[in-house]
């Protein structure tokens, strides 16, 4: 295929600004709608899926478009996820494109996520086509959005395309703009293969399906390929493109987008960001930007009912098939029994896994507060790597502790510079740089302890900037810090699963907030329950949950029996979902309480 | 045994006005599409349908003689006595109701006709449950009641004059703005009238009521939990010293005057309910009539029983309900009766639960009955939940 007939692009947008509807319209206009509907039906049918031998993930769709210059073009639309946890995956998708549609809601205007994604796209030198969507809405104000485009991001607003994905207005203009403005791919086809893996997933029938953009060279069915990060070799069984059903092809050449199936058993065999080359004719260097996925955040996952422990292991194994970033190791807690210490990319990733375990696998789980990995140096010279606060040795045995830092880059409108810097200082940030990207947009860079970022930093940042700030961060090594373990005692008994690591100066304050929060989330028991926060043997905060004294319904006559019984059944079910720690019943959210403390 | 005989409940879903705290099924009498007269005629038809239904059932050991009739609501006293008499005649014609049956009508002091009480008496009503709620006029006003204390005195004295020898007064505590003093003032005024039976209900704030709304907006200043507990405990002592036995969570009676009809509920015994939204429990099946007046009437006139929902529990479910209900009684659940009825002992089902709550001092076995202790009474839900 000739490269000048190919355009690779993605759509970036703030959530709800109409990305998927716009994608649907583009598919429709390029004659893919009938097939797409078919594909949807196929997705619903297990039998057909088995016949086809592949599950469909609309990760990259190939469109045929006859432009006004009467030439046929192949347009590859590549999907992008959209959260800071997956920012690396987003960056790899962007690296597979030459252009991006920047979709903005004509009634909402530019929002934080729009900008975060836009800056990422600019970093990859993508051609940006601004699209002002939803112009059919009564509240649409495209002129305001145009001004915003020019003033806040310096994009020539005359280039913006006005569209309504709902009515179909402007879709042709978008397709023409893609052809005219997005550069054709340029890599040489006759050199060593370098193909970028921008996503992968595990298919139960075919093994791993790797989504690739061929930057240089060519890949063919039957080739022996090498993953440049792992040096592992595989033979290519199948190549395909999505239209949107998978169509097999014999080769994929420089500039093309498609998928590779090569007997890979584990998504770790096709890591996102890795470069595929040929065993017999390898490239000298991989493509830039590969970063092995390493979990940044750890937490304990425990079944409420200990009998579910094997089911939890099975479920985690199933999820890991499709998620290279998820790690888990068995661990035990005095309070919670047997469980797993799991590693995640970030908090959202953690929440997604937790929710999938509960929803898809019907597990009733307790998640402990997330932790980072600490490096401890003991007085008797040993070094410990610890990802669980409960495993901290006695303070007296510790010589020094190092914790992971990140370089946090925050983009914010200049009105919020003060509040953002204040927040970073509160979270032990070390100021690095501040620069005006445009007269109104500021980029602030801080070095911050990762542990402070995972403590609801993103939510706080959003609330202090009315949602406008965006955050990205990258690891910045380990630094020594004055940290202590904060223990929680319920009814006089320490609960290991509630221990957290915190800076010594913040410990008393955090202890007080945590004790108060626990008092709010733990329901009254039939006896008084003291809650204490302690550093070593020193109690820094104390609260008391008063005993439940009255819980009785005044009336129960003939018509009330069923209602009353159902009420009591719900009460009982609520108890079942709680963890019995000694004689105290503790709800699941108590173990996450440290994440939502009052400031 | 007489106390194992079933009861009959008749629901009158009309009220003159709706009280601020009430979430029962009731319709404003003057705005209702179905007139009271039409409703009573429908009820009469349902009585006939239900008789045919009963005749078609295998006997299953439940006696078909009834020991009580209870007319509740809503506000039954909004029904003109003549209509009620028609209903009663039909009821007695179609069902075998014992001569000694307890026949109760709920009476709202604001709605009773002048000669109504005498007519009730002539119809065979032998017990009145009077919704006094409070002997303080400003409290009544705040509750949205449509009567005054003077109305209450007039009904109570009128009932005695008409020959009633079994009166029950309903009172409420834990009300917004109600001090302990104000509550005991009402209670002493009640005992001064020497009724045979007193029900003392703690106000429950239900979400879909004006009270629920005001409470969520912070507009109600309800007494503290400690105050309410104080009211409960002192009420039991106060009434106990005046000859009223505390026999159910909210009910007190002079010896021999425990509510027989309501005791059927608490012993999880059989009863048939008639009327819109009325519930029945028969041969282990609990079923309810539709809430909607029009649907109720339509169904009955098409000769269909107006059942909207129905549930039959397994043995353990029924046994659990029996404990849940029985623990409301101060005497608790008679273990022998329980074993005879379910063929197992309570320990076979709930050994662990019973020992846990016994250890905590909330439950005890005394005189062959499983019952809540005084402390357990206040935490009844916590204990009952273990059995459902």
Q: Quote the ipTM score.
A: 0.93
Q: Do B324 and A564 touch (CB under 8 A)?
A: yes
DSSP state of A319: H
Judge whether B277 lies within some domain.
no
* Domain housing B350: 314-388
Number of domains observed in the structure of chain B: 2
Chain A positions touching B232 (Cβ under 8 A) are 550
Q: Select the residue of B228, B324, B377 nearest A568 (Cβ to Cβ).
A: B324
Q: Which residue of A has its CA nearest to B265?
A: A558
DSSP character string of A76-118: EEE----SGGGHHHHHHHHHT-SEEEEEEETTT---HHHHHHH
Judge whether B58 lies within some domain.
yes
Looking at per-residue pLDDT, the higher value among B51 and A296 belongs to B51
CA A469 – CA B355 distance, rounded (Å): 58
CATH label of the domain that carries residue B144 = 3.20.20.70
Q: Do B262 and A557 touch (CB under 8 A)?
A: yes
- From B232, B265, B298, give the residue that closes a domain: B265
CA A384 – CA A445 distance, rounded (Å): 30
DSSP character string of B173-188: ES-TT--HHHHHHHHH
Is there a single domain that holds both residue B113 and residue B205? yes
Is there a single domain that holds both residue B257 and residue B328? no
Is there a single domain that holds both residue B259 and residue B370? no
- When scoring A556, A569, A582 by the number of chain B Cβ atoms within 10 A, the one with the most, hence best to mutate, is A556
Phi, psi angles (nearest 5°) of residue A408: -100, 125
Residues B196-235 as b or e (16 or more Cβ within 10 Å = b): bbbbbbbbebeeebebbeebeeeebebbeeebbbebbeeb
Is there a single domain that holds both residue B318 and residue B385? yes
Q: Select the residue of B72, B380, B386 nearest A552 (Cβ to Cβ).
A: B380
Q: Do B265 and A526 touch (CB under 8 A)?
A: no
Across-strand partners of A542? A532
Instruction: Quote the minimal CA–CA distance from B385 to chain A in Å.
Output: 5
CA B27 – CA A144 distance, rounded (Å): 55
Residue B216: what pLDDT? Answer: 92
Chain A positions touching B249 (Cβ under 8 A) are 552-554
Is there a single domain that holds both residue B151 and residue B44? yes
Looking at per-residue pLDDT, the higher value among B168 and A119 belongs to B168
Judge whether B287 lies within some domain.
no
Residue A36: what pLDDT? Answer: 46
Q: Do A551 and B380 touch (CB under 8 A)?
A: yes
Spans of chain A, pLDDT less than 50 = 35-36, 38-57
Is there a single domain that holds both residue B166 and residue B21? yes
Burial class for A138, CB neighbours closer than 10 Å (0-12, 13-18, 19+):
exposed
Instruction: Quote the minimal CA–CA distance from B250 to chain A in Å.
Output: 6
Judge whether B64 lies within some domain.
yes
Judge whether B213 lies within some domain.
yes
Q: Given the DSSP bridges, would you call strands A398-413 and A441-449 parallel, antiparallel or unpaired?
A: antiparallel
Is there a single domain that holds both residue B252 and residue B326? no
- When scoring A527, A546, A565, A572 by the number of chain B Cβ atoms within 10 A, the one with the most, hence best to mutate, is A565
User: Is B324 part of the contact surface with chain A (CB cutoff 8 Å)?
Assistant: yes
Residue A16: what pLDDT? Answer: 67
Is there a single domain that holds both residue B260 and residue B327? no
Burial class for B245, CB neighbours closer than 10 Å (0-12, 13-18, 19+):
middle
Q: Given the DSSP bridges, would you call strands A493-494 and A207-216 parallel, antiparallel or unpaired?
A: unpaired
Q: Do A556 and B328 touch (CB under 8 A)?
A: yes
DSSP character string of B71-96: EEES-GGGS-HHHHHHHHHHHHHHSE
Chain A positions touching B265 (Cβ under 8 A) are 556-558, 561
- From B247, B265, B283, give the residue that closes a domain: B265
Q: Select the residue of A552, A561, A571 nearest B249 (Cβ to Cβ).
A: A552
Q: Do B385 and A561 touch (CB under 8 A)?
A: no
CA A322 – CA B167 distance, rounded (Å): 73
Looking at per-residue pLDDT, the higher value among B50 and A455 belongs to B50
Chain A positions touching B383 (Cβ under 8 A) are none
Q: Select the residue of B201, B232, B278 nearest A559 (Cβ to Cβ).
A: B278
Between A50-59, A583-592, B295-304, B312-321, the lowest mean confidence (pLDDT) is in A50-59
Q: Do A549 and B385 touch (CB under 8 A)?
A: no
Q: Which residue of A has its CA nearest to B361?
A: A526
A→B interface, C-beta within 8 Å: 526, 548-559, 561-562, 564-565, 567-569, 571-572, 575
CA A70 – CA A11 distance, rounded (Å): 25
Between A436-445, B50-59, B183-192, B365-374, the lowest mean confidence (pLDDT) is in A436-445
Residue A401: what pLDDT? Answer: 95
Judge whether B296 lies within some domain.
no
CA A289 – CA A277 distance, rounded (Å): 16
Structure token pair of residue B248: 């159910």
The closest alpha carbon to B107, from B84, B76, B83, B74, belongs to: B76
> Which stretches of A246-348 are assigned E, i.e. beta strand?
246-249, 251-253, 257-261, 275-278, 297-303, 327-333, 337-344
Residue A242: what pLDDT? Answer: 85
CA B102 – CA A482 distance, rounded (Å): 78
Please list the alpha-helical segments (H only) found in B95-208.
116-123, 137-143, 149-161, 180-192
Judge whether B386 lies within some domain.
yes
Residue A17: what pLDDT? Answer: 75
Is there a single domain that holds both residue B37 and residue B159? yes
Query: How far, in Å, are A389, A510, A538, B138 from residue A394 at the CA level?
Result: 11, 20, 13, 65
Instruction: Quote the minimal CA–CA distance from B165 to chain A in Å.
Output: 24
The closest alpha carbon to B42, from B387, B371, B295, B257, belongs to: B295
Instruction: Quote the minimal CA–CA distance from B128 to chain A in Å.
Output: 17
CA A248 – CA A197 distance, rounded (Å): 18
Is there a single domain that holds both residue B255 and residue B373? no
Chain B positions touching A551 (Cβ under 8 A) are 378-382
Residue A356: what pLDDT? Answer: 87
Structure token pair of residue A28: 């429709």
Residue A348: what pLDDT? Answer: 78
Chain A positions touching B225 (Cβ under 8 A) are 549-550
Write the secondary structure of A46-66 as one string of H (helix), E (strand) and C (coil): HHHHHHHCCCCCCCEEEEEEE
Judge whether B146 lies within some domain.
yes
Q: Select the residue of B325, B381, B386 nearest A551 (Cβ to Cβ).
A: B381
With contact defined as beta carbons under 8 Å apart, do A403 and A479 qualify?
A: yes
How confident is the prediction for chain B on average, in pLDDT?
A: 94
Q: Do A526 and B202 touch (CB under 8 A)?
A: no
Is there a single domain that holds both residue B141 and residue B226? yes
Q: Do A554 and B328 touch (CB under 8 A)?
A: no
Q: What pLDDT, in 10s, does the model give residues B74-103?
A: 899 999 999 999 999 999 999 999 999 999
Q: Do A548 and B379 touch (CB under 8 A)?
A: yes
With contact defined as beta carbons under 8 Å apart, do B68 and B8 qualify?
A: yes
Instruction: Quote the minimal CA–CA distance from A134 to chain B in Å.
Output: 39
Structure token pair of residue B377: 């009474």
Would you tell me which residues 12-71 of chain B have a C-beta closer than 8 angstroms to some C-beta of chain A?
A: none
Chain A positions touching B262 (Cβ under 8 A) are 557
Structure token pair of residue B379: 């935490």
Angle at A395 between CA A393 and CA A401, to 5 degrees: 80
Q: Inform me whether the pLDDT recorded for B30 exceeds 80.
A: no
CATH label of the domain that carries residue B321 = 1.10.10.920
Residue B4: what pLDDT? Answer: 84
Q: Given the DSSP bridges, would you call strands B271-274 and A60-66 parallel, antiparallel or unpaired?
A: unpaired
CA A166 – CA A187 distance, rounded (Å): 37
Residue B346: what pLDDT? Answer: 96
Q: Do B378 and A554 touch (CB under 8 A)?
A: no
Instruction: Quote the minimal CA–CA distance from A576 to chain B in Å.
Output: 11
Is there a single domain that holds both residue B48 and residue B192? yes
With contact defined as beta carbons under 8 Å apart, do B167 and B121 qualify?
A: no
Q: Do A568 and B328 touch (CB under 8 A)?
A: no
Sheet holding A6-13, edge to edge: A60-66, A72-78, A6-13, A99-105, A127-133, A161-162
Q: Select the residue of B72, B203, B379 nearest A526 (Cβ to Cβ).
A: B379
Between B211-220, B234-243, B331-340, the lowest mean confidence (pLDDT) is in B211-220
- From B237, B265, B293, give the residue that closes a domain: B265
pTM to 2 decimals?
A: 0.70
DSSP state of A182: S
């Amino acid at each position: 295929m000739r490269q000048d007939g190919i355009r690779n692009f993605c759509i970036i947008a703030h959530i709800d600004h109409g990305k998927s509807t716009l994608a649907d319209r583009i598919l429709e206009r390029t004659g893919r709608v009938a097939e797409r509907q078919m594909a949807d039906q196929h997705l619903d049918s297990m039998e057909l899926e088995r016949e086809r031998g592949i599950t469909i993930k609309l990760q990259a769709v190939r469109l045929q478009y006859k432009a006004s210059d009467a030439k046929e073009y192949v347009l590859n639309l590549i999907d992008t996820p959209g959260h800071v946890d997956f920012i690396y995956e987003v960056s790899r998708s962007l690296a597979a494109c030459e252009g991006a549609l920047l979709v903005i809601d004509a009634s909402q205007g530019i929002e934080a996520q729009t900008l975060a994604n836009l800056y990422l796209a600019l970093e990859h030198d993508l051609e940006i086509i601004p699209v002002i969507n939803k112009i059919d809405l009564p509240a649409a104000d495209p002129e305001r959005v145009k001004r915003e485009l020019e003033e806040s991001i310096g994009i020539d607003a005359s280039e913006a395309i006005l569209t309504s994905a709902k009515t179909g207005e402007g879709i042709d203009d978008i397709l023409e703009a893609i052809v005219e403005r997005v550069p054709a791919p340029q890599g040489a086809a006759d050199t060593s293969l370098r193909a970028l893996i921008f996503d992968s997933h595990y298919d139960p029938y075919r093994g791993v399906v790797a989504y690739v953009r061929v930057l240089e060279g060519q890949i063919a069915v039957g080739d022996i390929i090498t993953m440049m990060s792992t040096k592992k070799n595989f033979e290519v069984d199948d190549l395909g493109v999505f239209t949107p059903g998978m169509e097999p092809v014999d080769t994929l050449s420089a500039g093309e987008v498609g998928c590779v199936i090569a007997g890979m058993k584990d998504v770790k065999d096709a890591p996102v960001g890795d470069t595929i080359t040929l065993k017999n004719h390898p490239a000298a260097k991989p493509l830039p930007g590969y970063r092995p996925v390493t979990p940044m955040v750890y937490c304990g996952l425990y079944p409420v009912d200990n009998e579910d422990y094997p089911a939890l292991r099975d479920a985690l194994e199933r999820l890991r098939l499709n998620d290279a970033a998820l790690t888990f190791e068995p661990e035990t807690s005095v309070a919670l029994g047997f469980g797993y210490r799991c590693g995640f990319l970030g908090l959202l990733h953690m929440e997604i896994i937790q929710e999938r375990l509960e929803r898809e696998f019907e597990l009733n789980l307790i998640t402990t507060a997330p932790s980072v990995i600490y490096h401890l140096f003991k007085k008797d010279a040993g070094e410990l790597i610890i990802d669980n606060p409960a495993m901290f040795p006695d303070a007296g045995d510790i010589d020094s502790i190092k914790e992971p830092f990140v370089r946090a880059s925050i983009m914010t409108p200049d009105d919020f510079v003060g509040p953002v810097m204040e927040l970073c200082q509160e979270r032990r940030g070390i100021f690095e740089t501040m620069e005006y990207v445009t007269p109104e947009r500021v980029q602030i860079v801080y070095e911050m302890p990762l542990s402070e970022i995972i403590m609801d930093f993103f939510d706080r940042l959003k609330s202090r900037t009315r949602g406008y700030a965006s955050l990205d961060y990258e690891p910045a090594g380990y630094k020594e810090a004055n940290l202590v373990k904060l223990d929680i005692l319920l009814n006089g008994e320490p609960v290991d699963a509630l221990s957290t690591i915190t800076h010594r100066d913040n410990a008393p304050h955090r202890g007080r907030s945590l004790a108060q929060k626990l008092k709010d989330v733990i329901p009254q028991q039939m006896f008084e329950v003291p809650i204490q926060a302690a550093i070593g043997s020193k109690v820094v905060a104390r609260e008391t949950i008063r005993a439940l004294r009255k819980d009785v319904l005044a009336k129960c006559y003939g018509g009330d029996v069923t209602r009353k019984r159902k009420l009591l059944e719900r009460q009982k079910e609520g108890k079942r979902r709680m963890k019995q720690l000694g004689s105290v019943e503790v709800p699941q959210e108590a173990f996450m309480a440290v994440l939502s403390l009052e400031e | 045994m007489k106390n194992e005989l079933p009861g009959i409940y008749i629901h009158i879903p009309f009220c003159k006005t709706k009280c601020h705290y009430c979430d029962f099924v009731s319709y404003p009498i003057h705005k209702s599409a179905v007139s009271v007269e039409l409703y009573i005629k429908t009820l009469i038809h349902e009585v006939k349908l239900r008789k045919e239904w009963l005749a078609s059932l295998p006997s299953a050991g439940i006696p078909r003689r009834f020991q009580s009739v209870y007319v509740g609501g809503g506000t039954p006293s909004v029904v003109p006595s003549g209509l009620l008499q028609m209903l009663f005649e039909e009821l007695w014609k179609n069902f075998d109701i014992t001569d000694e049956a307890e026949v109760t009508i709920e009476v709202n002091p604001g709605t009773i006709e002048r000669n109504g009480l005498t007519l009730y008496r002539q119809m065979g009503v032998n017990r009145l449950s009077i919704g006094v709620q409070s002997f303080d006029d400003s409290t009544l006003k705040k509750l949205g009641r449509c009567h005054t204390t003077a109305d209450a005195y007039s009904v109570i004295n009128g009932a005695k004059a008409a020959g009633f020898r079994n009166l029950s007064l309903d009172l409420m505590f834990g009300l917004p703005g109600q001090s302990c003093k104000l509550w005991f003032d009402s209670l002493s005024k009640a005992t001064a009238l020497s009724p045979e039976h007193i029900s003392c209900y703690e106000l429950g704030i239900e979400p879909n009521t004006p009270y629920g709304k005001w409470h969520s907006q912070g507009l109600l200043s309800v007494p503290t939990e400690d105050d309410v507990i104080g009211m409960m405990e002192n009420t039991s002592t106060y009434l106990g010293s005046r000859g009223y036995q505390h026999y159910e969570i909210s009910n007190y009676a002079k010896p021999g005057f425990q509510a027989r009809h309501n005791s059927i509920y608490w012993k999880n015994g059989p009863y048939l309910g008639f009327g819109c939204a009325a519930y029945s429990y028969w041969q282990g099946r609990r079923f309810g009539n539709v809430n909607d007046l029009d649907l109720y009437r339509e169904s009955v006139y098409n000769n269909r029983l107006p059942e909207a929902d129905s549930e039959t529990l397994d043995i353990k479910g029924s046994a659990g309900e029996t404990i849940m209900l029985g623990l409301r009684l101060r005497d608790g659940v008679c273990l022998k009766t329980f074993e005879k009825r379910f063929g197992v002992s309570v320990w076979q089902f709930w050994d662990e639960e019973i020992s846990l709550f016994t250890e905590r001092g909330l439950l005890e076995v005394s005189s062959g009955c499983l019952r809540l202790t005084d402390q357990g009474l206040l935490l009844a839900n916590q204990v009952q939940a273990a059995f459902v």
